[in-house]
Amino acid sequence: DQQVKQNSPSLSVQEGRISILNCDYTNSMFDYFLWYKKYPAEGPTFLISISSIKDKNEDGRFTVFLNKSAKHLSLHIVPSQPGDSAVYFCAAGYNFGNEKLTFGTGTRLTIIP
């Protein structure tokens, strides 16, 4: 059973516009959420995270929103740049005592110049 889901396998966005990537989870015990970015032929790299005690976290052009009641998080990229074209994975884990991360299936983001 897929506990973390990314329902959009791909997304195309015009350069300069907002990219919104979505992620849903089913396990209410998750209390820490992360986004990873992956370029071809490279390993995933950490992008941004959010703890369940917050509903928003910003880092430059990247903002993650968490809606605990809906078990939904989203990543906003504003403005989108060609270098943002990559596969994005959301992951869910625990704040204390358990390092295990459960990953979603990924969304391939393509930024159109």
Partner 1 sequence: EAQVTQNPRYLITVTGKKLTVTCSQNMNHEYMSWYRQDPGLGLRQIYYSMNVEVTDKGDVPEGYKVSRKEKRNFPLILESPSPNQTSLYFCASSSILGTGADEAFFGQGTRLTVV
Cβ closer to partner 1: 69 or 100? 100
Write out the binding residues for partner 1, residues 21-60 only, by CB under 8 A.
32, 34, 36, 41-46, 49, 51
Please identify which residue in 6, 19, 63, 85 interacts with partner 1, judged by CB under 8 A: 6
Amino acid at 6: Q
71: alpha, beta or left? (left if phi > 0; alpha if psi -120 to 50) = left
Alpha carbon separation from 47 to 26, 31, 57, 89, 90 (Å, rounded): 22, 17, 12, 10, 10
- The region of 12-20, 55-63, 76-84, 87-95 touching partner 1 under the rule CB under 8 A is 87-95
Write out the binding residues for partner 1, residues 91-110 only, by CB under 8 A.
91, 93-106
